[in-house]
Structure 1
């Protein structure tokens, strides 16, 4: 079956919606960003519910199981490792994404798929990764049933990005991504339906200026769910 078409709009140009009266704005306890705090969170998860679980479908792609990794790099100020997908891929091309992909028949489970795909895309070896657990299933508009796997990563790794799939690999401070003041909601009518999503644009310092990393869509949705867990 043919691939789903990419959005025919620039998400950067879609206006930001005003905050809802019931929108959560709680700040994350800084202890949640430590290795001990994150291990404790997944060892004894609080009662919570994801804010986002399923996007409106578009296209005719058959549903497929997939898994992504939330690689939390344990610097003194923890970061999240993200990828910039190459422009020629059939789905989500050019977008910022969590490393991951389809679950293969040879994968033992979603966690195994996330680790394998992360290594294939970025060269990040599993022996530097400590898996903590998973977030609830997230269903994308392109019919991927995604299991987000959360893990701690020890700094000092050397990456070897796959040029066929990944244009760039970079890190964003976790406290920036988990700050609700950086979560922006958008909405547009497209493909016969009103669609809403979050974005979390990050201005990355560069040696000779700055670069905007426009995090949005499914990646931002899964990060918003992670934020909900951290404040539970």
Structure 2
């Protein structure tokens, strides 16, 4: 698929129908508490021109972080008081974490929010990066920045369901490994939702 076709597919994805996702949607036996308070957050699924089409920008979180150390993640984070909304939070965090200038990002839409096991309601923001971009990882939060081909993250066949014990129960989750990078959990679930919309 040439880059123009990939861009067109990404532009259609936010308009496709689809429900919100959750870290629990593969685990219907887990009962979630009524009235739980979820903290709003935004993550940026930013695609930039690569050698063979678009590439998605992902990070490997620092192993020194308290939450999700060493995991693969989108740039992004919780909505701060100064953020207008989840899109603003995603752009701000991407600038802080990988030095991506918000002025270079064309926001083309959002996907339905995703509830995480850590109590966040995360809005995935789809963006296209224009111009040259050299990532600079923020050393306190990001161990590495890397690119994954569009063809990998948007192919539903790349995703498989695996499981592990979590809080005394077996928890199932999506994975989409890429080389040495184990993409799983909320990141894989949100990407699987994107892949499903592109191939609907």
Place the TM-score, normalised by the shorter chain, in its bin: 0.7 to 0.9
Give 1 or 2 for the bigger CA radius of gyration.
Answer: 1
Partner of 1:206: none
The 1-side partners of 2:12 and 2:38 are apart by 34
For residues 38-53 of structure 1, what are the structure 2 equivalents within 5 Å? 38-42=10-14, 45-49=15-19, 52-53=21-22
Contact 1:32 1:230 in 2 (8 A): no
Q: In the alignment, which of 155, 168, 172 is matched to residue 179 of structure 1? A: 155
Q: Name the CA shift for 1:225/1:37 in 2 (closer, same or farther; >3 Å).
A: closer
**1:142 equivalent in alignment to 2:118:** yes
**1:167 equivalent in alignment to 2:167:** no
The 1-side partners of 2:3 and 2:197 are apart by 14
Q: In the alignment, which of 127, 130, 148 is matched to residue 106 of structure 2? A: 130
1:132 aligns to what SS in structure 2? strand
The number of residues matched between the two structures is: 191
Q: CA RMSD in A?
A: 2.3
Contact 1:33 1:78 in 2 (8 A): no
Structure 1: segments with no counterpart, 5+ residues: 1-28, 204-211
Runs of 4 or more above 4 Å deviation:
29-33
The 1-side partners of 2:84 and 2:138 are apart by 23
Q: Deviations over 1:95-121 (max 9, x none)?
A: 010000110011001000000000000
For residues 50-129 of structure 1, what are the structure 2 equivalents within 5 Å? 52-55=21-24, 63-75=38-50, 76-129=52-105
Partner of 2:27: none
Q: Name the CA shift for 1:181/1:41 in 2 (closer, same or farther; >3 Å).
A: closer
How far is the alpha carbon of 1:177 from its aligned partner?
1.5
Partner of 1:3: none
2:121 aligns to what SS in structure 1? strand
TM-score (norm 1): 0.75
1:198 aligns to what SS in structure 2? strand
Q: Name the CA shift for 1:38/1:181 in 2 (closer, same or farther; >3 Å).
A: closer
The 1-side partners of 2:4 and 2:198 are apart by 7
How far is the alpha carbon of 1:88 from its aligned partner?
1.4
Question: Structure 1 residues 133-142 or 182-191, which shifts more?
Answer: 182-191
TM-score (norm 2): 0.86
Structure 2: segments with no counterpart, 5+ residues: 25-29
How far is the alpha carbon of 1:192 from its aligned partner?
2.3
Partner of 2:186: 218
Question: Structure 1 residues 62-71 or 220-229, which shifts more?
Answer: 62-71
Contact 1:49 1:228 in 2 (8 A): no
How far is the alpha carbon of 1:194 from its aligned partner?
2.5
2:187 aligns to what SS in structure 1? helix
1:112 aligns to what SS in structure 2? helix
The 2-side partners of 1:65 and 1:90 are apart by 19
